[in-house]
Chains A and B, each alone.
Chain A
Amino acid sequence: MSVKSFYVHIPFCKKICSYCDFCKLFYSTGYVLDYLNCLEDEILNCYQGEELDTIYIGGGTPSCLSDSELEKLFSILSCLKKSHDCEVTIEANFDSLTKSKLDICKKFGVNRISFGLETTHPWILKKMNRDLDLDYVKEIISYCKSIGIFNINVDLMYAFVGESVKEVEEDIDFILSLDVNHVSCYSLILEENTKLYIDNEKEISEDVDFSMYEVIKKKLADSGFCHYEISNFGKDGYFSKHNLCYWKNDCYYGVGLGASGYLGDVRYQNTRSIQHYLQKKYRLEEEKLDLYDKMEYEVILNLRTKYGISKKKFKKRYGKNFEEVYSYHDLVRDGYLVDDGEYVVIPDGFWYLSNEILVKLLEGVING
């Protein structure tokens, strides 16, 4: 399988959000240049020169790099060969992205921006340990469009204890007012090693969480968004090509601190220790996948999207018919899976049960 996607991790942040358990560090000028040098080294060591359809610069907060650091990052990435319609995404926060940084991104060929907005409500922002100026949000988004970047995602996070369905609706209304083409909506997870977890934050009730999800789905659908993955909504032509690479179980490079990648038979995970990384000990662990692991990943990831599992592609990739590997007739009978002969999908109405459905499906492995 040829590799067509590339992920670059920039771990630095100006502030640490209370819910975040991604690999992140406080931004400090001292580290950044060394880090970028190592990043270059890692890329030169692993990249085989494939033509890429997607590049994704995530974090952390890539937008917290200074103008000159961004220039340096892009000069490093210029060794990557891009296809003519390559999707190049950078993640950004409104508190650090400036017009001049946007210009630098544009110059390198960034054509998609993914903004962390998360909420519009001051009390929740405070809980998240984030800053947000709504007027500046509007200004920056118009500027993106003015320089020709229309492929814009906004992240929303919901389901804080005390948050009402109405507040979530207000967030969605604000996002819709920005006239962007893509929205990712994540319900809060209290992860270990986050400030919220340590502070003993409580989980919202299942039922409220569910109503919020329903409201989000409804409002976005009414505004012409397609719900193409459990947590992702996009207008036609604006689905995230990079994320779809994950969900199609395609291979991708991942470089940078804490990044993960999938190449050939191996899924790997980079170190989360900056010390190790700067000593050029990039890899933390590698998982060699056998046929059944690969098929399992295929199922888990494919079923997150409205496309589901293509039985033809399954057969082509693994040399087995999907029906021969998994017995899933009960799930079809009960409506949790739909099989139209070519594709097996979880219908949109049951995506919130995908864990349960996946466990049942994977338990049904034949000759496993």
Chain B
Amino acid sequence: MRQKNIRNFCIIAHIDHGKSTLADRILEMTGSISKRELKSQMLDSMDIERERGITIKLNAVQLTYQYEGEEYYFHLIDTPGHVDFSYEVSRSLAACEGALLVVDAAQGVEAQTLANLYLALDNNLEVIPVVNKIDLPNADLDKVSEELENIGFNRENIIFTSAKTGQGIDTLLEAIIKKIPAPKGGVDEPLKALIFDSLFDAYRGVIVSIRVVSGKVKVGDIIRMMETGASYEVVGLSINTPKEEKVQSLKAGEVGYLYASIKSISDVLVGDTITLDNRPADKALPGYKPMKPMVYSGLYPIESSKFEDLREGLDKLKLNDASLTAEPETSKALGFGFRCGFLGLLHMEVIEERIEREFGIDLIATSPSVVYEVVLTDGSKIMVDSPTKMPKRELISKTLEPYVKTSIFTPSDYIGPIMELCQDKRGNFVNMEYLDQSRVMIHYELPLSEIVYDFFDKLKSYTKGYASFDYELIGYRESNLVKMDILLNGDIVDALSVIVHKDFAYKRGKIVVEKLKEIIPRQMFEVPIQAAIGTHVIARTDIKALRKNVLAKCYGGDVTRKKKLLEKQKEGKKRMKQIGSVEVPQEAFLSILSTTEK
């Protein structure tokens, strides 16, 4: 493989703009797979990904393409399409020289289009603008081209494709060869290989996706991870075409997989640099950042007997997901479960769904929490990822919470409602950029906890789904936070406690108790629901006592039916959690999240 004939690139796009379909089409056009073999969206291998249209796990494929008598090697690196995985995206980009920026011909430029573009430019990539889905009846090529011009592209460089029909793909492949530079990096220099993804395989251990930046790695080499210092002997190297092919070595510019009997995925850090033990590079590649969960939630099996199954399920998922953390925790209300850390809300949803679907465990998830920083009166500092870990108020000197900078991309009609929403969510306005007359990018600084709460749903409903949104963490800020408890029949339900800003606690408390009243069925006795800060009750409502009873009314002699009715009622109860003397349906634990205020 000659280095000058290698092209490393990725495809970046806003969600649903056709990234995976375009990747499939490139695979097909380069003859890597036949149409017959092409399962729609080949690169997304998990069911959930295909269903949701999101690419979660990374994949890199080597394709060969004949152009003007020369054989070219394309390494197509697929990237996740969601803000939760922006660090992983940035490392994938760092493995490339170029990027295809895909924009939907009907939707135009969106928040993630821009976020991804900036990431690509940060990594000094050559970006080729691609307007995709030009076969759509509502495609507006002029408008989309103008939008791309507004963000700095030349109109004549834009490539128009339909991944669905194959139109324009040839032109695109030509542009990849002509515009994207070949990799540099000397084969004789010390090895530097960037880890941009990893995957756990039951037989081979961790399989590491690498881009060799300089030097050369071969089977049998002793390698060293520059961040962790761990070293291993390379057992095998391979490339994906997209069938796996074993190779003896990978050289500067090449992309492939390495396995070395690595037992734990936590030894393989995305963004870390691999070098040779006997001839190490003097400096690691730039850009490594440890991945830290941003959102925590308690996951509990509805049936307490499934606790061990849940442990196994989480362990299996963790094998492939270094960013997922799980520590056992006990809740008085929910029993034994795990405090899990996620990169973001989507990551959380995906994990919950996979546990329910792949391991058949029904879950109760507690309201997600961000990680707060609490400075105690003795000057020490602790991180609090769960309301139950919040220290007593008299021990706290100050509290800080993570803030994000959001980029909200919207038609200008919705500026008013969006600003109103952001103010309501304790946001600080930063600035506003007009992309053209009708499209605006609004920047706000917002507490991450508000985004975790219901910001996304609200944004969609305030803008009829037209606005798109992206965010990045900008650090911790002091904030007047309190722990709000929920009491059922006088007992604190630990799993329902939340940390809220003091000024918003009353409003939030009122909504939560009203919502719980709707969800919790009448019980045999009257049940007060209270929201309290410390011992101070800030909201209260009562669930009236049950007054009616179907069985009591049953007429006549068909006794079997009465029994069946009772059986049914017993079944219904299985879906409830007994908390003290009160039976609570699982939805109650989510209700804290999904409250609507208007």
Contacts and interface: CB of A to CB of B under 8 A. Distances in A.
B563 A296 contact: yes
Interface stretch (A64-72, A169-177, A217-225, A349-357): A349-357
A210 interface: yes
A160 to B, nearest CB: 13
Contacts of A94: none
Given A207-B544, A353-B549, A363-B573, A269 B560 contact: yes
Interface in A315-347: 336
Nearest to B561: A260
Given A269-B560, A300-B562, A300-B566, A186 B544 contact: no
Contacts of B152: none
B556 interface: yes
Contacts of A297: 559, 563
B549 A301 contact: no
Given A355-B549, A358-B551, A362-B570, A260 B557 contact: yes
Contacts of A58: 556-557
Given A189-B553, A355-B569, A287 B560 contact: yes
Given A300-B563, A353-B524, A359-B570, A246 B549 contact: no
B570 to A, nearest CB: 5
B548 interface: yes
B502 interface: no
B552 interface: yes
Contacts of B522: 206
B203 interface: no
B547 interface: yes
B548 A246 contact: no
Interface in B545-598: 546-560, 562-563, 565-566, 569-570, 573
Contacts of B549: 352-356
Contacts of B553: 186-189, 231
A357 B525 CA distance: 12
Contact of A186 (B555, B557, B558, B563): B555
Interface residues of B, number: 25
A206 B551 contact: no
B524 A336 contact: yes
A19 B524 CA distance: 28
B552 A355 contact: yes
A267 B551 contact: no
Contacts of B559: 246, 260, 262, 267, 297, 300-301
A62 interface: no
A359 B569 contact: yes
B556 A358 contact: no
Interface in A169-218: 184, 186-189, 206-207, 209-210
Contacts of A186: 553, 555
Contacts of B552: 187, 230-231, 351-352, 354-355
Contacts, number: 86
Given A187-B552, A363-B570, A363-B573, A206 B560 contact: no
A211 to B, nearest CB: 9
Interface in B51-101: none
A231 to B, nearest CB: 7
Nearest to A296: B563
B490 to A, nearest CB: 15
Contacts of A243: 557
A256 to B, nearest CB: 12
Given A231-B555, A355-B569, A260 B560 contact: yes
B546 A356 contact: yes
Contacts of B548: 187, 206, 209-210, 352
A22 interface: yes
A301 B562 CA distance: 9
Interface in A20-51: 22
Contacts of A231: 552-553, 555
A267 B557 contact: no
Q: Which of A243, A355, A359 has most chain B Cβ within 10 Å?
A: A355
A285 to B, nearest CB: 9
A320 to B, nearest CB: 19
A354 B566 CA distance: 10
A7 interface: yes
Contacts of A188: 553
Contacts of A187: 548, 552-553
A210 B554 CA distance: 16
Nearest to A21: B555
Contact of A206 (B524, B547, B555, B570): B547
Given A351-B552, A355-B569, A363-B573, A246 B547 contact: no
Given A207-B544, A355-B550, A358-B566, 6 more contacts: A189-B550, A300-B562, A353-B546, A355-B549, A355-B569, A363-B570
Interface of A: 7, 22, 58, 184, 186-189, 206-207, 209-210, 230-231, 243, 246, 252, 254, 260, 262, 267, 269, 287, 296-297, 300-301, 336, 351-359, 362-363
Q: Report the 6 A-B pairs with minimum CB-CB distance, sorted nearest first.
A: A210-B547, A206-B547, A206-B548, A355-B551, A355-B549, A187-B553
13 contacts: A58-B556, A206-B546, A206-B548, A230-B552, A231-B553, A243-B557, A260-B557, A269-B560, A297-B559, A352-B549, A355-B549, A355-B565, A358-B566
